[in-house]
Amino acid sequence: MKYIIFILFTVATNAAAQLMLKQGMTTLSPSVLAQENIILKLLMVVFSPWVFFGLATFVISMASHMFVLSKVDLSFAYPFLSLAYVLVAVLAWQLFGEELGAYKIAGIIFICIGTVLIAQSGSPVQDPTISQTTTEEYHS
């Protein structure tokens, strides 16, 4: 559980990036969307402020995730990323007025239950000797 803060940081930055991209794509000016040159259009989209910061936040999230993966088992860390869906669904409902119906709420509850079960599933810390031995046996 020592690395849970980094896992949750990864989740939060992943969700924040999604929200920034949504904001950026829905507030693009019509002139950007009307641009016929695909390269110019792509550059205008990527360098619009919300999209740019959303992409930059994804890079931060990925760097954090890579750090986490160097410290804990993938089968422990990766399922926590599903919590980003929970954050995005709730915040998109609050910020963008997106629907949050019964099925989404039920799905969110299942995601949270599954994440808690995985968090309780044992030691998240990798044993470097096990992975090294497994890698050596694989290449032999």
Residue 133 pLDDT exceeds 80: no
What pLDDT digit, counting tens, does each position of 1-30 carry? 789 999 999 999 999 999 999 999 999 999
What pLDDT digit, counting tens, does each position of 105-118 carry? 999 999 999 999 98
Residue 123 pLDDT exceeds 60: no
**Could you tell me if 68 and 6 are in contact, meaning their C-beta atoms sit under 8 angstroms apart?**
yes
Q: Give 48's pLDDT tier (boundaries 50, 70, 90).
A: very high
Phi-psi region of 22 (alpha: psi -120 to 50; beta: other; left: phi over 0): alpha
Determine what percent of the chain is predicted with pLDDT higher than 90: 79
Q: What are the domain boundaries of the chain?
A: 4-139
Helix count (H) and strand count (E) of the chain? Answer: 8, 0
Token pair belonging to 38: 């695909």
Residue 138 burial class via C-beta count within 10 angstroms: exposed 0-12, middle 13-18, buried 19 and up: exposed
Q: Give 121's pLDDT tier (boundaries 50, 70, 90).
A: confident
Token pair belonging to 82: 């599903």
What pLDDT digit, counting tens, does each position of 49-61 carry? 999 999 999 999 9
Token pair belonging to 69: 């993966």
- How far apart are the C-alpha atoms of 85 and 75, rounded to whole Å? 18
Alpha helices in 27-81 (DSSP H): 30-34, 38-46, 49-69, 74-77
Token pair belonging to 110: 């299942």
Residue 70 DSSP one-character state = T
Residue 81 pLDDT exceeds 70: yes
pTM over 0.85: no
